[in-house]
Amino acid sequence: MTTLLITTWVGALITLCCFTFLIKDNPFYRFAEHLFVGVSAGYYLSTISFHQVLKPNLLAKIWPTYFASGTAAEATPEYILIIPGLLGLLMLFRFSSNLSWVSRFTVAFVMGVSTGIAVVTSAEQYLIPQVKKAIVPLIVSGDYFGSFSNLVLVVGTVSCLFYFFFSTEHRGPVFGNVAKVGIWYLMISFGAAFGATVMGRISLLIGRFNFLLSDWLHLIK
């Protein structure tokens, strides 16, 4: 149980160090900030990158007898995975100023595969459904409010697209005015986003005070 106690106290201390930033930028905050960055980088490197990805997906597949457990240890080694392993190692050439071009092979491979996937999936899963969503019947029979809402939707999508593609050169009365309507829509959308952000940050703060008041000080249940 002592570990839990120490963890809670360390946590409370760090939390208070972070809160001192509200008074002003000070050594306590800088300390907590840098400790946090160091600890998280160490965590990502060892636990995540190595133990959760490289070991099971690369090492355990190439040398199952050493790195895999259970029935997976008897699987046949997949030596083909040495290729991505080597490509990954090539990335480390970035540290050298003369040989950094060697990493380009890896970069080229990653870019090829991921852009290839991106082209088809972004068209199929985002572009087409969103365009489809924006094409709605403008007149809903007997439902004036429904018709109005659909009109709002269509006008909004079209005018915002105008804004994106002609915003910096908003010349001429048509482009300029349509883009202006687009800005109104964006402002409503950003307002909603702001409201949502406020909501989220307050929820986080509630979480923190819950920790301090209940887990640490036991003032509330």
Residues 146-205 that bind other proteins (CB under 8 A): 149, 152-158, 160-161, 163-165, 167-168, 182-205
Query: What are the contacts of 18-27 at 24+ separation with CB within 8 A?
Result: none
Smallest separation, CB 144 to other proteins (Å): 14
Q: DSSP character for 212?
A: I
Q: Which of residues 116-145 bind other proteins (CB under 8 A)?
A: 116-127, 129-134
Smallest separation, CB 142 to other proteins (Å): 19
State the number of CA atoms in the 13 A half-sphere of 2 facing the CB: 0
Residue with smaller CB distance to other proteins, 88 or 172: 88
Q: At what angle do helices 173-210 and 144-166 cross, to 10 degrees?
A: 100
Smallest separation, CB 159 to other proteins (Å): 8
Largest CA distance in the chain: 73
Smallest separation, CB 141 to other proteins (Å): 19
Choice from 39, 138, 139, 174 touching other proteins (CB under 8 A): 39
Choice from 3, 76, 97, 98 touching other proteins (CB under 8 A): 3
Q: Which of residues 63-82 bind other proteins (CB under 8 A)?
A: 66-73, 81
Burial of 160 (0-12, 13-18, 19+ CB in 10 A): buried
Smallest separation, CB 7 to other proteins (Å): 4
Assess contact for 19 and 32: CB atoms under 8 A: no
Nearest-angstrom CA–CA distance, 156 and 189? 10
Assess contact for 62 and 77: CB atoms under 8 A: yes
Q: Is 25 near other proteins (CB under 8 A)?
A: yes
Residue with smaller CB distance to other proteins, 144 or 184: 184
